[in-house]
Amino acid sequence: MKKEKLEEILQYFLDYLSVERGLAENSIISYRYDLVKYLDFLKQKKINSFQKIDKELLGNYLLYLKKRGLGVNSISRNLVALKMFYRFMLAEDFIQEDVSKIIEFPRLSKKLPYVLSQREVNKLLDYSNFSGELGLRDLAILELLYATGMRVSELINLTIEDINLENQMLKCMGKGGKERIIPFGSKAGQALTGYLKGSRERLIKDTQEKVLFLNSRGNKLTRQGIFYLLKRYLQKAGINKKATPHTLRHSLATHLLENGADLRSVQEMLGHADISTTQIYTHVSRKWVQEEYYRAFPRK
């Protein structure tokens, strides 16, 4: 049986997720964030070996997470990370028994994704909200996020070679290094053309730069930059709702299904491994229909 420090074993696990499982960097950061909490808990208990952990201690860890004010969904995510970690340690001979098998997950609250209405999206993407060179870029970014349902991490890593304006398609590298081809509409195509012809060439500092969307210094945009950008244009459009770039992804999926799109097609477009993840948007759609019914029904 191998004897290593707690932190070393955690790093072996993170390397395994990266190299063998091919998980994206953001996913690995999330696993590390969750498991560092577990290591902090063990240190408080003066435990320096995973061999000394029993079922009672794991039960105490669940109480520890609750006392830290974590919600049911956050606790469940932490426990998923813990179970994967223990399976890894057992397979790699760091432990003799997987005591995490006794953990029961708390019942998850099925929270529906938050979406913007089609009217709100149109209001956000109104051309009058965007001006100047950076306005051309920002319009292209928001049009593309909504038109394709891409994750922010996928969008900021796009290169000019990933875009096919003629066929209105793009190549996107998703979670786990899985590539997918996504179509986009004429509005997004027009916005991209405007950015490429009227803005990107002026933002470039290095002529060899292939990244599609650049900041004012000629560097790749950050996730935080996209979040700030959307917040600013929501305010400009007079939309008083808290929304993130992921809200545009949720909104697209909901609007496609509302307008008759095939569930499997939406699954493929969004890059969901499991169709049950896509199915939640059908519930969002039904909820919206119900709300509209009660708002408009004449016999109150």
246 belongs to the catalytic site: yes
| CA 11 to chain centroid | 23
- H/E/C letters for each residue in the chain? CCCCCHHHHHHHHHHHHHHCCCCCHHHHHHHHHHHHHHHHHHHHCCCCCHHHCCHHHHHHHHHHHHHCCCCHHHHHHHHHHHHHHHHHHHHCCCCCCCHHHHCCCCCCCCCCCCCCCHHHHHHHCCHHHCCHHHHHHHHHHHHHHHHHCCCHHHHHCCEHHHEECCCCEEEEECHHHCEEEEECCHHHHHHHHHHHHHHHHHHCCCCCCCECCECCCCCECCHHHHHHHHHHHHHHCCCCCCCCHHHHHHHHHHHHHHCCCCHHHHHHHHCCCCHHHHHHHHHHHHHHHHHHHHHHCCCC
Q: Please tell me which residue in 77, 223, 231, 272 is annotated as part of the active site.
A: 272
Q: Please tell me which residue in 151, 200, 250, 255 is annotated as part of the active site.
A: 151
178 belongs to the catalytic site: no
Q: Please tell me which residue in 32, 83, 175, 220 is annotated as part of the active site.
A: 175
Q: Please tell me which residue in 31, 146, 233, 249 is annotated as part of the active site.
A: 249
107 belongs to the catalytic site: no
264 belongs to the catalytic site: no
Q: Please tell me which residue in 37, 187, 231, 246 is annotated as part of the active site.
A: 246
119 belongs to the catalytic site: no
- Give the list of residues 6+ apart from residue 28 with CB closer than 8 angstroms, or none: 14, 17, 18
- Residues annotated as catalytic are 151, 175, 246, 249, 272, 281
